[in-house]
Each structure stands twice: as structure tokens, then as C-alpha cells.
Chain A
Amino acid sequence: MLQTPMADHAAPAVALAVRDLAVQFRSEQGVVRALDGVSFDLHAGRTLGIVGESGCGKSVTARSILRLIDHPGIITGGRMVLDPSTPREIDLASLDPESRQMREVRGGRIGLIFQEPMTALSVHYTVGNQLIEAVRQHHSVSVAEARNRATELLRDVGIPRPETRIDAYPFELSGGLRQRVGIAMALAGDPDIVIADEPTTALDVTTQAQILSLLRGLQEAKNISLMLITHDMGVIAEMADEVTVMYLGRVVEVAPVRQLFAAPRHPYTRALLRAVPSILARPRQRLSTIGGAVPHPGSRPFGCSFHPRCAERVGAVCMERIPDPVPPGQAGASCFRTEVPA
């Protein structure tokens, strides 16, 4: 396998190491392997972009890390180690989702930003009530202190006049402000890691730009490790330091962002990048396409999952064997084409 070291300079510590994560959804119609051996590293203070189309498992990954997988989904294997090789090391896969430890991780050590901020907010309470509660969940402070902290959080996320907005109900806010509140909620427990699941997909383009620049600013100011899940290659190019490309529940390529865009290694990444409409296009410029559609994760093709749509198949091997996964901590592609002949 063609590999290069992940970072160009001394690699920062790993904040979260996911290894061979496997998640299944079991129903009467059969077993859907939503994740099938997913591994990646999230480095401290960096942004890891996870990109893929529908059914690739990017959201399931986020929910698995926070142990928020609902019935009938179950984690069937793998480890998710927070702060590996430090005294704070903890394997999230081994915890009971309802345990106190896991609840401390959720919102405490790891914050979550949703696509639709109303998922995280209740319509019955003011923004302040919910923020204060979130702050007090993770810090033993008085209500007055928590309120100050909440106002500060609102100011941090760029909400104008936080002293008055703190008493607003979520439905009184615009979509952009609501997502800012969603970010404030994710930051309430002072997390080291923030997982953002399609945080701008529901927003307009100018609002998206504001939220992305806010996220970048907060990351730098608070030295947060950001895991950004998106389907938008533009957002990846703008935000990510490293990128994990997923397809049908597997990681197909891992690379630093510039390398990924300059020299994609996996045929899927290559095809995907060529298929993205560009704001720099010539008039009436055609796109190169990937044939077919993403199969349902329940009917994953044999061998390399991408082979039926792949324009660069090597031969029968693509249909018979699953290519080796990208070794953790390294850049590379899970593809027979890039494997060095023995």
C-alpha cells in the first residue's frame, strides 16, 4: 500500500483514535452493516473532515462515538479511544451508553453540533435556561455564575446583544442564530473535541460562510479538535486539515487536505472530485460522472464496495476481495490499484 506520513511536521497528539469500528442495524429484513471496520485518528487541535455521500456511514460514526446509536443499531466491534496513551485514556466502546462516565464524555469531553439545531434545543425553554442547564451539567457552579458563563458563550458564538437574547426562545431566532446557539450548547461543557454533523447543510450560503468562519475561529481560540462531517467537498477544502473519505460504511481514503485535492488516490475520491459542480466552471461545462447510484447499505456489493461503479477496476480481484483498510495514522487508499506489487 502506498503510504505517506500523515502530517508534514511533527504530528500533534491523537485526541481520539477509532479502530475497526463496526456497527450493525438488525431488523427482520436482515442485517445492515452500517459501519464495517472504520479506523481514523482525530488529532488534537486539528480539523478532521469526514466526507461521503448518503449511506456512507458518516453520521453513524458520529453517533457511535457519542454512544447515541438507537435500537436496532448495535456496535459489534472496534474501539474508540479518547486521549490514547495518557492517564485520561478511555475506550468509549466499552462504556455503557447510559453510564455516568459516558454522560460526562457526552457534552463534557465531546460536544456535538447537529445539522438541525432544533434537535438539540427544546422549544419550551429559553436559550438561557438550556445553556445554564448544560453548563451546570458539567461544572459545579451557581446559577448566577452559570448564567454569566452562558452569556459569555453566546457572545463567543457571535450572537449580538447576548444579555437580551439569552431570554429568547429558540423559535424567536433565525436559522443562523439558532445554529450559533447550537454551537454554544456544544461548547457549554468546555469540550476538547467537537463533532459537527453537517452543521451548515440546512443553512443559506452566506449564513454557512458565517458559521464556518465562526467554527474556525473558535477552534483556534479554544484549541478544539474538530470532527467535521459533511457531504460538501467545498466545506472540506475550506475547513479540514485531514480528510477521511467514506463509502458504504468503510474508509476508502485518508489524506491531508491539500494532498487529497491535488492527488486523490482512491478512484472514488477522484471521481467524486471531478463530479462536484464548481463555481469556477466554464459556461455549459459538463461534469464527469460516476455511473449508477450509491447502493443501499443493506445490499453492499461483494469485494470492494465501489467496484460496480468504478472506472478503474484492476480486475477480478476487485469483485472477490475487500482491499486492505488504510492503516491508522497514515495517509493512503483502500484500493488494489494503489497497492504496491509484491
Chain B
Amino acid sequence: MNLLEVQDLQKHYPIHAGLLRREVGRVRAVDGVSFQIARGETLALVGESGCGKTTVSRCILRALTPTSGAIRFTPENGRAVDLATLPKRQMRPLRRHIQMIFQDPYASLNPRMMVGDIITEPLKVNGVPAAERRERLMELLELVQMPPGSRTRFPHAFSGGQRQRIGIARALALHPQLIVADEPVSALDVSVQAQIINLLLDLQDRLGLSMLFVAHDLSVVRHVSDRVAVMYVGRIVEVAPTDALYRAPRHPYTEALLAAVPAPDPNRQHRRRVAQGEVADPARPPPGCAFHPRCPYTVDRCRTERPELAATESGGWVSCHRARELELAGVR
């Protein structure tokens, strides 16, 4: 049984207009997303701004209530629950199993609490006795490689990277089964980014973490994830094991994304195709395949008929009418 199974998840925001605030349309921020995360696996959710990746993660954390769909979560030694329809009250005991690492290490720590209190807050609100909390705090500080003296300091005494370690320690405090990491390194300096990426890799190895890694940086994603799901305007266009996706993308959008990333190698330049146009507006997505106005391989069918996700021979899924015939370029 997979740890998490998301099925046809939708999150729509109504657009109101006029004096009577009538609903005149809907922003389909997430429009039918399905994926699974196995135990111990890291799935990356990538895409450009407005693609709905953050909305998906917030729905899983139930910071947002989905419009429809199912989010089946099966904790170890537990029964499967559908997080999508769970009332908020019943969500609270489940919270300990799903924790989050935030993007902004400055906003995610309460400036008025000492680091020790920040890290142990999840333990405290879940009724862990004080002695046990102290012990666990020491473990956690060691785990994220922070000096034990940090616990009596306030967040303002730490750099961005160190704050991110504190945030990670807090997320790990309750032994969660799933970590949702929302752009955890994108606010950091390059030299610090590397430390946090390594720390995440370490934690995956040591603790067998399962992670949903939400990111826009395809380079970072290649380092940390086992599988990658690419989103475009509220839908997943391709899911595949990381290496396969980078070496041989099956969706033209994946190809365009990979081609757009500037590689830190001056000898590899000037031979890439740049995707034209702009990301579609999720309030008015194009008919058919949402990517068709920007796709160099568009045929008539793409303009009218929306492709569904279909399995590929390499163990992935892709939603493109021409997936079988196209030879797309990856990076290697």
C-alpha cells in the first residue's frame, strides 16, 4: 500500500463579478491531479509559477480544502484515511504524520520563541512529557548538525541556512511519515543551498523519509528526488523516475523546461530551443492540450482534444497525443 495516493484532486477558485457577486468563472488552480508516493520515496512536483504545485501541497496538508478528489493517506500500522474529505477536527490527530518544510527560513520561525521551544512545539502540543522533549531536542539538533547551545537562542541569531536546519528539525520532531518540502532551498545562497541539499539526502538515507518535494529548480530536483511529476496549468503532464525523465523526456513541455535551464558549463551552450510564448492563464486555459499554443509539435488534435495520462514503457506516465512518435531531447 502506498503511503499517499492522490486521485483526481481538484481545487477551483470561483471568480465573482458584478453587484450580486455572481460566479462568472473558475480558476482551475488544480484540475485533476493524481499521483502516488511510496514509503521511503521522494517525489518532486515541478513546474513554473501558477502551475498549481503549491496548491497541491497545501491540499495534502489540508491548509486548503480541495474542491474534489481523494487524498488517501495510509500511516504505518494504520487505516487509510481520505484527507480530502476529513473534517478539520479529525485532521488534528493526523497532523503529526505529515509535516512541512517551508521555503522562507525567516518567516517560518516565530521570532519570539527560542529555538528549543520552536523545535519542540510539535512535541508539546501532542502531549510529550518535558523530559522526553529535552532528550528528543538534543537528538534533533544533532541530526540537523546544529550545536546544542542553539536551543536557548532566538532565530535572529542564525543565518538563513541555519534557520532552515531549525525548520527541518521541527518538521522531524514527531517522526512524521511524510514531509512536504515547499521550495526548501530556493531562498538560500548557493553555498548554503548545497549544505541543505546534502542534509536532506542524509536524512532520506538515515530515516527513510518519504517526501513530496515541491520545487521549480530542476537542478535541485535532480539531486534529491526518486521520481518527478511535471505540472502545467493545474495538471500533471508527465511523471517518471528522475533519471529517465531527465535523459529522455516524453512530454514536449518537459523537454522545454529542461532545455531552458542554464547549465553551469560554457561548452554546452547555444544549442537549445527556447519555448515561445507565456504560461497559460489557469482562469482561461486553452482548449485541448493546455500546452499546445507553445508546443513546437502541435497537430490539429492537440487543439481540440485534451490528452489523458497514459503509461509509458519506461515506467512513467505522460499526457501527450504524440508521446509515442516524438523523439525528445533530454539532458545528459
Contacts and interface: CB of A to CB of B under 8 A. Distances in A.
Contact of A206 (B191, B194, B275, B332): B275
A281 B222 contact: yes
B261 interface: yes
A261 B263 CA distance: 11
B27 interface: no
Contacts of A208: 260, 262
Contact of B242 (A235, A276, A283, A286): A283
B258 A290 contact: no
B45 interface: no
A237 interface: yes
A271 B192 CA distance: 11
B220 to A, nearest CB: 5
Interface stretch (B30-38, B108-116, B211-219, B319-327): B211-219
Interface stretch (B119-127, B156-164, B171-179): B156-164
Interface stretch (B95-103, B130-138, B195-203): B195-203
Contact of B274 (A206, A239, A288): A206
B279 A279 contact: no
B259 A53 contact: no
Interface stretch (A92-100, A104-112, A147-155, A226-234): A226-234
Interface in A211-241: 212-213, 231-239
Contacts of B265: 237, 261, 280
A204 interface: yes
A257 B262 CA distance: 14
B77 interface: no
Contact of A289 (B160, B162, B195): B195
Nearest to A209: B260
B199 to A, nearest CB: 9
A284 B224 contact: yes
A231 B222 contact: no
A177 B277 CA distance: 10
Nearest to A243: B266
A54 interface: yes
B264 A273 contact: yes
B194 A205 contact: no
Given A205-B261, A293-B160, A281 B198 contact: no
Given A204-B279, A279-B218, A237 B266 contact: yes
Contact of B263 (A257, A275, A279, A287): A279
Contacts of A235: 262
A285 interface: yes
A98 B159 CA distance: 37
A238 B262 contact: yes
B263 A283 contact: no
Contact of B264 (A234, A293, A309): A234
A293 B189 contact: yes
Contact of B222 (A54, A272, A278, A289): A278
B194 A288 contact: yes
B274 A287 contact: no
A38 B322 CA distance: 54
Interface string B268-304: 1100101110110000000000000000000000000
B90 interface: no
Contacts of A5: none
Contacts of A281: 219, 222-223
Contacts of B256: 206
B189 A231 contact: yes
Contacts of B261: 205, 234, 279
Nearest to A278: B219
A204 B269 CA distance: 19
B73 interface: no
Contacts of B264: 233-234, 236-237, 261, 273, 276, 278
Interface centre among B191, B219, B226, B274 (most CB of A within 10 A): B191
B48 interface: yes
A258 interface: yes
Interface in A254-301: 257-258, 261, 271-273, 275-281, 283-290, 293-294
A174 B198 contact: no
B94 interface: no
B317 interface: no
Contacts of B160: 293
5 contacts: A205-B216, A257-B266, A277-B217, A279-B331, A287-B223
Interface of A: 53-54, 174, 176-177, 204-210, 212-213, 231-239, 257-258, 261, 271-273, 275-281, 283-290, 293-294, 309
Interface of B: 48-49, 159-162, 189-195, 197-198, 201, 204, 216-220, 222-224, 226, 242-243, 246, 256-269, 272, 274-276, 278-279, 331-332
Q: Which 8 A-B pairs have the closest CB atoms?
A: A234-B262, A209-B260, A293-B159, A275-B194, A204-B48, A287-B194, A290-B191, A277-B219
Given A207-B278, A237-B263, A281-B222, 10 more contacts: A232-B262, A237-B269, A238-B262, A277-B220, A283-B222, A284-B223, A285-B222, A286-B223, A290-B195, A294-B159
